[in-house]
A and B are shown apart, each in its own frame.
Chain A
């Protein structure tokens, strides 16, 4: 059994230590907000936070998360209050929506580290996340908007 904390809850899973965290989250814990897109850290759809850092869960063996803290999109906020979620709504960002959990989780780390990111900061932080629908221009706008909301002390 491997013990880890997911969205502030301690869980024990019976899994091969080499099993990617992605499949533990999706197929064992049934937290399906985190998506499978490529399985080789190319697309970022599987991005979660491991001790606050953005990781590609599809190439992260679950043993790396043992006794560590994992946050998924389901744990980002309880009530849709995260500035990024508010901004995503305001800028009408998602299309098919499949990549958006990963986009938001990547952007959340960016906003924490660079509360007022430039376009170049956004390029650096977000170019690992693919969106086949091409919502990039709206993601960029939404990150700037979220930065503004965060400055005002978070969204309502």
Chain B
């Protein structure tokens, strides 16, 4: 398997690299054809991202996967803009695992980091423009005119009174040499017809009539269903098991041991699950049994009292702090969080004749291909990965260990059967790969001007990337995903003395990126503390931020949210507002939350959101992602908590790991800053500001600072 590493943060910090060098490897070798299954000799197949058939079908192949964030529509918009095809004739397909689909910035095939649109902005436009150029050349020959005398319109090349459809020209165009890199010209922004226009999703119909195929829906006549009994404690292993009762269940075909537990294979899920319930397993628990949430935080607290590895440092923090007349000392704790995508994890595997075929919803098909090959002792080329729609990802389907794919391959290998592995909801909630639990300890010295003069900040939590192929993200001992949002805080530009340190304890609980990663906790700490400082200084929280922030994009988002929310307007009795602004994944998002507390219950009435993501390729998609991020963030504020007792996860399904529901959903207004700045992401940046905006509003209502999520009933009583 490739161990190429990428540095998301580093990339996002290096401006200008997005455009420019990407015309590069857009042309793939002739062998590209093998990466995309069915196509006829008469098809124009100019590159690995596009196939035009004689029947005028325009098939666009996605290097990124659709998991709700809308790339099924946004990437085709980029291609179609330059190809000048009929938007209604566009069909879309996920790419298989393969070199042409490697991320333009990260070097591996991945959908993550809110990066799909900006990272494909040049590649997909170029792919469309190249094909258009080849079609024009083919038409020029056919019409016996100069290419310069041809124009295109909605899937036709036109010269004077002559006209040919792209489908008619595809065969001839396919025989032409590809234009030299650099000879392909992209449209001027002013000529865009799709980019920047609110465009409806291309997958809505299939997702509203039952036709959309998710990994869970894969079916073959000779396929069986497998479920695996996992150890009740992370890191536990099977000591012995008795499958007699399981095998007696009608429909159960086989029971096999795999590295992660005991698999029951049956005709269908119901029989497999009943079989699993009937298993008798004796486990070796190992040290995972020693983990209990309360004692874990006590250990983290002890660590926070000691010096950690430096993540950011400037001035004389300790000296300034000791002289400060006014201080804030605060400790924050954040629980483990499960992603809980609506589609439980699953993976279908068929092994035959030194070949392996996989069907699943995955954010990293290349990794999964490599993992399967390694388990089976074959080459990655012998493994085919078919990616279906993902019923939610949020990071859970991007495991560096390919955990559920590896498990499915092991089950297929051990049993010799063609199987679909299905995780139950309980398997998902209890299966680990959580947002790590974190503790922050912060000491702030306040200057005579009411602004922070010294900021001492220690963070304690497991590293997501340590021990994985992504460990290159650890620089000088610091996992950037643990400190992002603090070590690079825009407020530090105005705080001469600051010091950020990190402790990364190792525990058996598997951890992973969870929609917006480190920003899930760092934005909360920074934005609630800034609010607290504003109150201590007797300043309006918005005015106070203005006095500290030098970043104009933070300010642009903040001012727009403030204006649209009517920040300075009076509120109905019993209603309160809170604000937060935070950058993540290259986008700047401000949110104003309006809340009330009624009979001890928090009600979020409205969230006004403003985002500066640079160019919004599909503004409707950006709005949808902000709504989505806000609801995802609010779920964590109200409910999100995974706890362990002697290593056992105490939650198991949606009754005790709750999700926000329709009746709790606020009115959401999204405004997009008219921006020509560098493009950022949309999938994740809506999440981080929500929790601090809500909790700052709760402070306005109660006078109480909340330093632990999720919010507890006692937090809502006036202090």
Interfacial residues, chain A to chain B (CB-CB below 8 A): 16, 19-20, 23, 26-28, 30-40, 42-43, 45, 72-74, 76-77, 80, 84-85, 88-89, 92-101, 104, 122-124, 126-140
Q: Do A96 and B391 form a contact, CB below 8 Å, given A23-B269, A138-B627?
A: yes
Q: Closest chain A residue to B390 by CB distance?
A: A96
Interchain CA distance A151-B661 in the complex, whole Å: 28
Cβ-neighbour of B425 out of A37, A101, A139 (below 8 A) = A37
Q: A68: shortest Cβ distance to chain B, in Å? A: 20
- Is B201 an interface residue when CB atoms closer than 8 A count as contact? yes
Q: List 14 A-B contacts (CB under 8 A).
A: A16-B270, A27-B269, A32-B210, A36-B216, A39-B653, A74-B209, A80-B205, A92-B204, A94-B68, A95-B68, A97-B207, A98-B391, A98-B392, A133-B632
Cβ-neighbour of B620 out of A76, A92, A104 (below 8 A) = A92
Residues of chain B within 8 A (CB-CB) of A136 are: 631, 660-662, 665
Q: Is the CB of A132 within 8 A of B342?
A: yes
Residues of chain A within 8 A (CB-CB) of B212 are: 97
- Is B162 an interface residue when CB atoms closer than 8 A count as contact? no
Residues of chain B within 8 A (CB-CB) of A123 are: 662-663
Residues of chain B within 8 A (CB-CB) of A128 are: 661
Q: Most chain-A CB neighbours within 10 Å: which of B210, B424, B624, B629? A: B210
Q: A82: shortest Cβ distance to chain B, in Å? A: 9
- Is B506 an interface residue when CB atoms closer than 8 A count as contact? no
Interchain CA distance A124-B663 in the complex, whole Å: 8
* Given A23-B269, A97-B207, A133-B68; 19 other pairs, CB 8 A cutoff: A23-B268, A27-B268, A28-B268, A32-B210, A76-B209, A85-B205, A89-B204, A89-B205, A93-B204, A94-B208, A96-B389, A96-B392, A97-B206, A98-B341, A127-B663, A129-B662, A132-B340, A132-B392, A137-B665
Residues of chain B within 8 A (CB-CB) of A74 are: 209-210
Q: Is the CB of B343 within 8 A of A98?
A: yes
Q: Most chain-B CB neighbours within 10 Å: which of A74, A89, A134, A140? A: A134
Interchain CA distance A126-B621 in the complex, whole Å: 24
Residues of chain B within 8 A (CB-CB) of A45 are: 342
Q: Is the CB of A95 within 8 A of B628?
A: yes
Q: Closest chain B residue to A136 by CB distance?
A: B665
Q: Do A38 and B209 form a contact, CB below 8 Å, given A23-B269, A43-B342, A94-B203?
A: no
- Is B262 an interface residue when CB atoms closer than 8 A count as contact? no
Residues of chain B within 8 A (CB-CB) of A72 are: 210
Q: Closest chain A residue to B204 by CB distance?
A: A89
Residues of chain B within 8 A (CB-CB) of A101 are: 210
Q: A114: shortest Cβ distance to chain B, in Å? A: 15
Q: B278: shortest Cβ distance to chain A, in Å? A: 14
Q: A121: shortest Cβ distance to chain B, in Å? A: 11
Interchain CA distance A76-B653 in the complex, whole Å: 29
Residues of chain B within 8 A (CB-CB) of A73 are: 209-210
Q: Is the CB of A140 within 8 A of B624?
A: no
Q: What 1/0 mask marks residues of chain B from 64 to 96 whose CB sits below 8 Å from any chain A CB?
A: 001111100000000000000000000000000
